[in-house]
Structure 1
Amino acid sequence: MTRRLLPVLLAAALLGGCGVPVDDEPRRVQPPPGGFPTPAGTATAEPDGRVDEPLCFVRGDGLAVATRRFDGLPDVDAHLQHLLAGPDGAERDRGLATALPGTVAVAGASLTGAVATVDVRQAGEETGRNDEVLAFGQIVCTLTQRPDVDSVAFRRDGQPLEVPRADGNVSALPLTAADYRPLLGR
Protein backbone atom coordinates (compact mmCIF):
# COMPACT_ATOMS: atom_id res chain seq x y z
CA MET A 1 0.00 0.00 0.00
CA THR A 2 2.84 2.38 0.82
CA ARG A 3 4.46 1.69 -2.55
CA ARG A 4 1.30 2.74 -4.38
CA LEU A 5 0.79 5.81 -2.23
CA LEU A 6 4.38 7.07 -2.61
CA PRO A 7 4.12 7.95 -6.37
CA VAL A 8 0.81 9.74 -5.77
CA LEU A 9 2.29 11.81 -2.91
CA LEU A 10 5.42 12.56 -4.94
CA ALA A 11 3.31 13.75 -7.94
CA ALA A 12 1.16 15.92 -5.65
CA ALA A 13 4.26 17.53 -4.14
CA LEU A 14 5.76 18.25 -7.57
CA LEU A 15 2.53 19.68 -8.97
CA GLY A 16 2.02 21.84 -5.88
CA GLY A 17 5.28 23.63 -6.60
CA CYS A 18 4.21 24.67 -10.13
CA GLY A 19 2.68 28.04 -10.86
CA VAL A 20 3.38 31.72 -10.67
CA PRO A 21 5.62 32.87 -7.84
CA VAL A 22 4.08 35.22 -5.30
CA ASP A 23 5.67 38.67 -4.87
CA ASP A 24 5.90 40.38 -1.50
CA GLU A 25 4.74 43.71 -2.99
CA PRO A 26 2.77 44.75 -6.09
CA ARG A 27 4.94 45.29 -9.13
CA ARG A 28 4.46 47.53 -12.15
CA VAL A 29 3.35 45.78 -15.35
CA GLN A 30 4.28 47.26 -18.73
CA PRO A 31 1.41 47.50 -21.25
CA PRO A 32 1.97 45.77 -24.57
CA PRO A 33 3.22 47.94 -27.44
CA GLY A 34 0.65 49.55 -29.74
CA GLY A 35 -2.88 50.68 -29.06
CA PHE A 36 -5.67 48.64 -27.64
CA PRO A 37 -8.28 47.48 -30.15
CA THR A 38 -11.61 49.28 -30.21
CA PRO A 39 -14.95 47.57 -30.77
CA ALA A 40 -15.96 47.28 -34.41
CA GLY A 41 -18.54 49.72 -35.62
CA THR A 42 -17.49 52.75 -33.58
CA ALA A 43 -15.93 56.03 -34.51
CA THR A 44 -12.39 56.00 -33.16
CA ALA A 45 -9.82 58.70 -32.51
CA GLU A 46 -6.24 58.31 -33.67
CA PRO A 47 -3.23 59.81 -31.86
CA ASP A 48 -3.18 62.68 -34.39
CA GLY A 49 -6.73 63.63 -33.32
CA ARG A 50 -8.36 62.50 -36.56
CA VAL A 51 -11.35 60.19 -36.28
CA ASP A 52 -12.99 57.59 -38.46
CA GLU A 53 -16.51 58.56 -39.44
CA PRO A 54 -18.45 55.49 -40.61
CA LEU A 55 -21.17 56.04 -43.22
CA CYS A 56 -23.56 53.33 -44.43
CA PHE A 57 -24.29 53.35 -48.14
CA VAL A 58 -26.13 51.00 -50.48
CA ARG A 59 -24.37 48.28 -52.46
CA GLY A 60 -26.70 46.15 -54.56
CA ASP A 61 -29.66 45.28 -52.34
CA GLY A 62 -27.80 45.71 -49.05
CA LEU A 63 -25.80 48.12 -46.92
CA ALA A 64 -22.04 48.59 -46.80
CA VAL A 65 -19.94 50.77 -44.51
CA ALA A 66 -17.49 53.36 -45.83
CA THR A 67 -15.14 55.23 -43.52
CA ARG A 68 -14.03 58.80 -43.94
CA ARG A 69 -11.39 60.61 -41.87
CA PHE A 70 -12.15 63.91 -40.14
CA ASP A 71 -10.34 66.18 -37.70
CA GLY A 72 -12.95 65.45 -35.05
CA LEU A 73 -16.21 63.56 -34.73
CA PRO A 74 -18.95 65.90 -35.96
CA ASP A 75 -22.16 66.31 -34.05
CA VAL A 76 -25.04 64.01 -34.94
CA ASP A 77 -26.68 66.42 -37.39
CA ALA A 78 -23.40 67.12 -39.26
CA HIS A 79 -22.70 63.37 -39.41
CA LEU A 80 -26.14 62.85 -40.92
CA GLN A 81 -25.51 65.67 -43.44
CA HIS A 82 -22.31 63.87 -44.56
CA LEU A 83 -24.43 60.75 -45.17
CA LEU A 84 -27.09 62.75 -47.05
CA ALA A 85 -24.40 64.18 -49.35
CA GLY A 86 -23.96 60.64 -50.70
CA PRO A 87 -20.87 58.66 -51.61
CA ASP A 88 -17.83 60.52 -52.92
CA GLY A 89 -16.10 59.58 -56.18
CA ALA A 90 -13.89 56.88 -54.67
CA GLU A 91 -16.87 55.36 -52.84
CA ARG A 92 -18.95 55.36 -56.05
CA ASP A 93 -16.02 53.64 -57.81
CA ARG A 94 -16.33 50.89 -55.16
CA GLY A 95 -19.98 50.40 -56.12
CA LEU A 96 -21.55 52.39 -53.28
CA ALA A 97 -24.72 54.41 -53.81
CA THR A 98 -27.46 55.93 -51.67
CA ALA A 99 -31.19 55.40 -51.34
CA LEU A 100 -31.77 58.62 -49.42
CA PRO A 101 -32.44 61.40 -51.93
CA GLY A 102 -36.05 61.25 -52.98
CA THR A 103 -36.91 58.52 -50.49
CA VAL A 104 -36.50 60.13 -47.08
CA ALA A 105 -36.58 63.92 -46.72
CA VAL A 106 -34.50 64.59 -43.61
CA ALA A 107 -34.96 67.92 -41.82
CA GLY A 108 -32.24 67.38 -39.17
CA ALA A 109 -31.12 65.32 -36.22
CA SER A 110 -30.51 65.85 -32.52
CA LEU A 111 -29.15 63.77 -29.66
CA THR A 112 -30.86 63.25 -26.31
CA GLY A 113 -28.94 60.89 -24.06
CA ALA A 114 -27.91 58.02 -26.34
CA VAL A 115 -30.93 58.34 -28.68
CA ALA A 116 -30.52 60.24 -31.94
CA THR A 117 -33.81 61.68 -33.16
CA VAL A 118 -34.13 62.30 -36.89
CA ASP A 119 -36.83 64.69 -38.07
CA VAL A 120 -38.33 63.64 -41.40
CA ARG A 121 -40.47 65.72 -43.76
CA GLN A 122 -42.99 64.25 -46.17
CA ALA A 123 -41.14 63.11 -49.31
CA GLY A 124 -42.48 64.31 -52.65
CA GLU A 125 -44.70 61.97 -54.62
CA GLU A 126 -42.64 62.41 -57.80
CA THR A 127 -39.61 60.51 -56.53
CA GLY A 128 -40.54 57.10 -57.88
CA ARG A 129 -38.33 55.41 -55.28
CA ASN A 130 -39.50 52.50 -53.16
CA ASP A 131 -36.38 51.52 -51.20
CA GLU A 132 -37.36 53.04 -47.86
CA VAL A 133 -35.93 50.09 -45.92
CA LEU A 134 -32.47 50.79 -47.33
CA ALA A 135 -32.82 54.55 -46.76
CA PHE A 136 -33.83 54.22 -43.11
CA GLY A 137 -31.24 51.47 -42.69
CA GLN A 138 -28.53 53.84 -43.96
CA ILE A 139 -29.45 56.39 -41.31
CA VAL A 140 -29.76 53.94 -38.43
CA CYS A 141 -26.61 52.01 -39.29
CA THR A 142 -24.60 55.22 -39.74
CA LEU A 143 -25.67 56.94 -36.53
CA THR A 144 -25.52 53.86 -34.28
CA GLN A 145 -21.87 53.38 -35.18
CA ARG A 146 -21.12 56.55 -33.21
CA PRO A 147 -19.90 55.96 -29.65
CA ASP A 148 -22.57 58.34 -28.28
CA VAL A 149 -25.60 56.83 -30.08
CA ASP A 150 -27.30 53.56 -29.08
CA SER A 151 -30.50 53.93 -31.10
CA VAL A 152 -32.29 56.17 -33.59
CA ALA A 153 -35.87 57.42 -33.42
CA PHE A 154 -37.73 59.08 -36.28
CA ARG A 155 -40.46 61.69 -36.08
CA ARG A 156 -42.57 63.75 -38.46
CA ASP A 157 -44.27 66.95 -37.34
CA GLY A 158 -43.15 66.22 -33.77
CA GLN A 159 -44.84 62.79 -33.69
CA PRO A 160 -43.13 59.37 -33.68
CA LEU A 161 -42.87 58.02 -37.22
CA GLU A 162 -43.29 54.34 -38.04
CA VAL A 163 -40.43 53.25 -40.30
CA PRO A 164 -39.73 49.92 -41.99
CA ARG A 165 -37.16 47.51 -40.59
CA ALA A 166 -35.25 44.90 -42.59
CA ASP A 167 -37.77 42.20 -41.64
CA GLY A 168 -40.59 44.16 -43.30
CA ASN A 169 -42.27 45.20 -40.05
CA VAL A 170 -42.65 48.85 -39.11
CA SER A 171 -41.76 50.39 -35.77
CA ALA A 172 -42.19 53.78 -34.11
CA LEU A 173 -39.73 52.77 -31.37
CA PRO A 174 -36.04 53.73 -31.50
CA LEU A 175 -34.14 51.37 -33.82
CA THR A 176 -30.64 49.88 -33.70
CA ALA A 177 -28.29 48.44 -36.29
CA ALA A 178 -29.63 45.00 -35.29
CA ASP A 179 -32.93 45.96 -36.94
CA TYR A 180 -31.06 46.14 -40.28
CA ARG A 181 -28.42 43.44 -39.72
CA PRO A 182 -29.76 41.20 -42.54
CA LEU A 183 -28.91 44.02 -45.00
CA LEU A 184 -25.36 44.64 -43.77
CA GLY A 185 -22.41 43.30 -45.71
CA ARG A 186 -24.34 42.10 -48.76
Structure 2
Amino acid sequence: MTRRTQSSGRWRVLLPVVALLLPAGCGVPADEQPRAVEPPFGPPAAPAASSAPGQVEQAFCLVRDGRLVRTVRQVDAVGGVDGHLRRLLAGPTRAERAAGLGTALPGAVHVVDARLVDGRAQVEVEPPGEESGRSDEALAYGQIVCTLDGRSDVAGVSFLLRGRPLEVPRADGSLSSGPLTAADYPAVTGPD
Protein backbone atom coordinates (compact mmCIF):
# COMPACT_ATOMS: atom_id res chain seq x y z
CA MET A 1 0.00 0.00 0.00
CA THR A 2 1.38 3.39 -0.92
CA ARG A 3 1.76 6.28 1.43
CA ARG A 4 -0.91 8.23 -0.52
CA THR A 5 -3.46 5.43 -0.14
CA GLN A 6 -2.75 5.15 3.59
CA SER A 7 -3.18 8.92 4.02
CA SER A 8 -6.53 9.04 2.20
CA GLY A 9 -7.71 6.05 4.22
CA ARG A 10 -7.04 7.91 7.46
CA TRP A 11 -9.07 10.89 6.26
CA ARG A 12 -12.00 8.63 5.45
CA VAL A 13 -12.01 7.49 9.06
CA LEU A 14 -11.29 10.89 10.65
CA LEU A 15 -13.70 12.98 8.55
CA PRO A 16 -16.92 11.56 10.10
CA VAL A 17 -15.44 11.96 13.60
CA VAL A 18 -14.54 15.62 12.90
CA ALA A 19 -18.00 16.22 11.38
CA LEU A 20 -19.62 14.94 14.59
CA LEU A 21 -17.40 16.95 16.94
CA LEU A 22 -17.46 20.26 15.06
CA PRO A 23 -21.06 21.31 15.97
CA ALA A 24 -20.41 20.51 19.64
CA GLY A 25 -17.74 23.19 19.80
CA CYS A 26 -19.79 26.08 18.38
CA GLY A 27 -21.17 27.19 21.76
CA VAL A 28 -24.87 26.96 20.84
CA PRO A 29 -26.76 24.65 23.18
CA ALA A 30 -28.97 22.00 21.60
CA ASP A 31 -32.64 21.87 22.60
CA GLU A 32 -34.59 18.64 22.77
CA GLN A 33 -37.43 20.18 20.74
CA PRO A 34 -37.97 23.43 18.79
CA ARG A 35 -39.03 26.42 20.87
CA ALA A 36 -41.00 29.51 19.89
CA VAL A 37 -39.34 32.91 20.02
CA GLU A 38 -41.60 35.86 20.81
CA PRO A 39 -40.76 39.11 18.96
CA PRO A 40 -41.04 42.35 21.00
CA PHE A 41 -43.48 43.76 18.42
CA GLY A 42 -46.13 42.32 16.16
CA PRO A 43 -45.01 40.37 13.12
CA PRO A 44 -43.08 42.41 10.57
CA ALA A 45 -45.22 44.00 7.89
CA ALA A 46 -43.10 42.67 5.08
CA PRO A 47 -39.61 41.26 4.78
CA ALA A 48 -37.04 43.97 4.34
CA ALA A 49 -35.82 44.25 0.80
CA SER A 50 -32.12 44.24 0.23
CA SER A 51 -30.66 47.70 0.53
CA ALA A 52 -30.01 49.60 -2.62
CA PRO A 53 -26.53 51.06 -2.88
CA GLY A 54 -26.24 54.08 -0.61
CA GLN A 55 -29.36 53.20 1.41
CA VAL A 56 -29.77 51.97 4.98
CA GLU A 57 -32.57 50.34 6.93
CA GLN A 58 -34.61 52.33 9.44
CA ALA A 59 -37.32 50.91 11.70
CA PHE A 60 -40.75 52.49 12.24
CA CYS A 61 -43.77 51.52 14.32
CA LEU A 62 -47.06 51.73 12.47
CA VAL A 63 -50.54 50.50 13.38
CA ARG A 64 -52.55 47.46 12.30
CA ASP A 65 -55.73 46.33 14.06
CA GLY A 66 -55.13 48.54 17.10
CA ARG A 67 -51.59 47.27 17.66
CA LEU A 68 -48.14 48.61 16.93
CA VAL A 69 -46.25 46.79 14.22
CA ARG A 70 -42.57 47.29 13.47
CA THR A 71 -41.66 47.76 9.83
CA VAL A 72 -38.38 48.57 8.13
CA ARG A 73 -37.87 51.08 5.33
CA GLN A 74 -34.93 51.77 3.06
CA VAL A 75 -33.77 55.39 3.50
CA ASP A 76 -30.90 57.40 2.11
CA ALA A 77 -29.42 58.15 5.55
CA VAL A 78 -30.43 57.36 9.12
CA GLY A 79 -30.07 60.98 10.30
CA GLY A 80 -31.12 62.36 13.66
CA VAL A 81 -34.23 61.82 15.76
CA ASP A 82 -36.06 64.78 14.19
CA GLY A 83 -35.62 63.42 10.66
CA HIS A 84 -36.62 59.93 11.80
CA LEU A 85 -39.74 61.32 13.44
CA ARG A 86 -40.60 63.40 10.34
CA ARG A 87 -40.53 60.21 8.26
CA LEU A 88 -42.90 58.57 10.75
CA LEU A 89 -45.23 61.59 10.68
CA ALA A 90 -45.38 61.42 6.87
CA GLY A 91 -47.42 58.25 7.33
CA PRO A 92 -47.18 54.80 5.82
CA THR A 93 -45.79 54.30 2.34
CA ARG A 94 -47.98 52.94 -0.44
CA ALA A 95 -46.56 49.45 0.14
CA GLU A 96 -47.16 49.70 3.91
CA ARG A 97 -50.78 50.80 3.32
CA ALA A 98 -51.24 47.87 0.94
CA ALA A 99 -50.02 45.59 3.76
CA GLY A 100 -52.78 46.97 6.01
CA LEU A 101 -50.61 49.37 8.02
CA GLY A 102 -51.78 52.80 9.11
CA THR A 103 -51.06 55.47 11.69
CA ALA A 104 -52.79 56.88 14.77
CA LEU A 105 -50.81 60.14 14.68
CA PRO A 106 -52.88 62.61 12.61
CA GLY A 107 -55.13 64.60 14.93
CA ALA A 108 -53.85 62.87 18.06
CA VAL A 109 -50.33 64.28 18.45
CA HIS A 110 -49.05 67.51 16.92
CA VAL A 111 -45.24 67.31 16.88
CA VAL A 112 -43.28 70.55 16.70
CA ASP A 113 -39.68 69.34 17.11
CA ALA A 114 -37.53 66.45 18.32
CA ARG A 115 -33.95 66.40 19.55
CA LEU A 116 -31.52 64.11 21.33
CA VAL A 117 -30.40 65.34 24.77
CA ASP A 118 -28.05 63.17 26.86
CA GLY A 119 -29.15 60.01 25.06
CA ARG A 120 -32.87 60.72 25.43
CA ALA A 121 -35.21 61.86 22.70
CA GLN A 122 -37.19 64.96 23.65
CA VAL A 123 -40.28 65.51 21.53
CA GLU A 124 -41.91 68.95 21.66
CA VAL A 125 -45.64 68.86 20.96
CA GLU A 126 -48.36 71.47 20.79
CA PRO A 127 -51.77 71.05 22.35
CA PRO A 128 -54.25 69.13 20.21
CA GLY A 129 -57.18 71.13 18.85
CA GLU A 130 -60.54 70.81 20.55
CA GLU A 131 -61.95 69.23 17.39
CA SER A 132 -59.55 66.28 17.34
CA GLY A 133 -61.94 63.86 19.05
CA ARG A 134 -59.30 61.10 18.97
CA SER A 135 -59.49 58.26 21.47
CA ASP A 136 -56.27 56.52 20.47
CA GLU A 137 -53.71 58.87 22.00
CA ALA A 138 -51.91 56.01 23.79
CA LEU A 139 -51.44 54.30 20.44
CA ALA A 140 -50.23 57.53 18.82
CA TYR A 141 -47.71 58.27 21.57
CA GLY A 142 -46.72 54.61 21.47
CA GLN A 143 -45.89 54.93 17.77
CA ILE A 144 -43.48 57.76 18.51
CA VAL A 145 -41.94 56.11 21.58
CA CYS A 146 -41.49 52.70 19.96
CA THR A 147 -40.05 54.19 16.76
CA LEU A 148 -37.49 56.40 18.51
CA ASP A 149 -36.71 53.89 21.28
CA GLY A 150 -35.68 51.43 18.56
CA ARG A 151 -32.68 53.63 17.73
CA SER A 152 -29.32 52.66 19.17
CA ASP A 153 -28.65 56.27 20.27
CA VAL A 154 -31.93 56.67 22.21
CA ALA A 155 -32.45 55.44 25.78
CA GLY A 156 -35.98 56.73 26.34
CA VAL A 157 -38.41 59.34 25.02
CA SER A 158 -39.86 62.35 26.84
CA PHE A 159 -42.52 64.77 25.64
CA LEU A 160 -42.57 68.52 26.22
CA LEU A 161 -45.35 71.09 25.90
CA ARG A 162 -44.10 74.68 25.71
CA GLY A 163 -40.75 73.47 27.07
CA ARG A 164 -42.23 71.75 30.15
CA PRO A 165 -42.54 68.00 30.77
CA LEU A 166 -45.84 66.61 29.47
CA GLU A 167 -47.57 63.58 30.91
CA VAL A 168 -48.69 61.28 28.09
CA PRO A 169 -50.74 58.08 28.19
CA ARG A 170 -49.01 54.74 28.42
CA ALA A 171 -50.63 51.53 27.17
CA ASP A 172 -52.25 50.84 30.56
CA GLY A 173 -53.93 54.26 30.54
CA SER A 174 -51.71 55.78 33.23
CA LEU A 175 -49.93 59.04 32.54
CA SER A 176 -46.16 59.45 32.61
CA SER A 177 -43.78 62.33 31.95
CA GLY A 178 -41.14 59.80 30.90
CA PRO A 179 -38.68 58.93 29.84
CA LEU A 180 -40.74 56.23 28.14
CA THR A 181 -39.59 53.15 26.26
CA ALA A 182 -41.29 50.49 24.14
CA ALA A 183 -41.73 48.51 27.39
CA ASP A 184 -44.35 51.12 28.44
CA TYR A 185 -46.59 49.91 25.60
CA PRO A 186 -46.73 46.11 26.02
CA ALA A 187 -50.50 45.94 25.60
CA VAL A 188 -50.22 47.38 22.10
CA THR A 189 -46.88 45.94 21.02
CA GLY A 190 -47.36 42.28 21.85
CA PRO A 191 -47.58 39.61 19.16
CA ASP A 192 -50.87 39.35 17.24
Same structural fold, with TM-score higher than 0.5 when normalized by the shorter chain: yes
Distance in structure 2 (CA, Å) of the matches to 1:47 and 1:79: 19
Cα deviations across residues 22-62 of structure 1 (Å, max 9, x unaligned)?
Answer: xxxxxxxxxxxxxxxxxx99xxxx79553211110111111
2:35 is equivalent to residue 63 of structure 1? no
**Unpaired segments ≥5 residues, structure 2:** 1-39, 42-50
Which position in structure 1 is the counterpart of 2:119? Answer: 114
Q: Which moved more, 1:107-116 or 1:48-57?
A: 48-57
Cα deviations across residues 69-124 of structure 1 (Å, max 9, x unaligned)?
Answer: 12321211010000000001110111111110100010010001210000010111
Which position in structure 1 is the counterpart of 2:155? Answer: 150
Shift of 1:143: 0.2
Shift of 1:129: 1.2
Runs of 4+ with deviation above 4 angstroms: 46-49
For normalisation by structure 1, the TM-score amounts to 0.72
Distance in structure 2 (CA, Å) of the matches to 1:133 and 1:96: 17
Distance in structure 2 (CA, Å) of the matches to 1:180 and 1:67: 19
Note if contact 2:156-2:178 (Cα within 8 Å) is conserved in structure 1: no
Report the number of matched residues: 143
Q: 1:162 to 1:88 in 2, by over 3 A?
A: same
Identity %: 51
SS in 2 for 1:149: coil
2:173 is equivalent to residue 168 of structure 1? yes
SS in 2 for 1:127: coil
For normalisation by structure 2, the TM-score amounts to 0.70
Greater Rg over alpha carbons, structure: 1
Which position in structure 1 is the counterpart of 2:14? Answer: none
Structure 1 residue identity aligned to 2:164:
Q
Structure 2 residue identity aligned to 1:179:
D
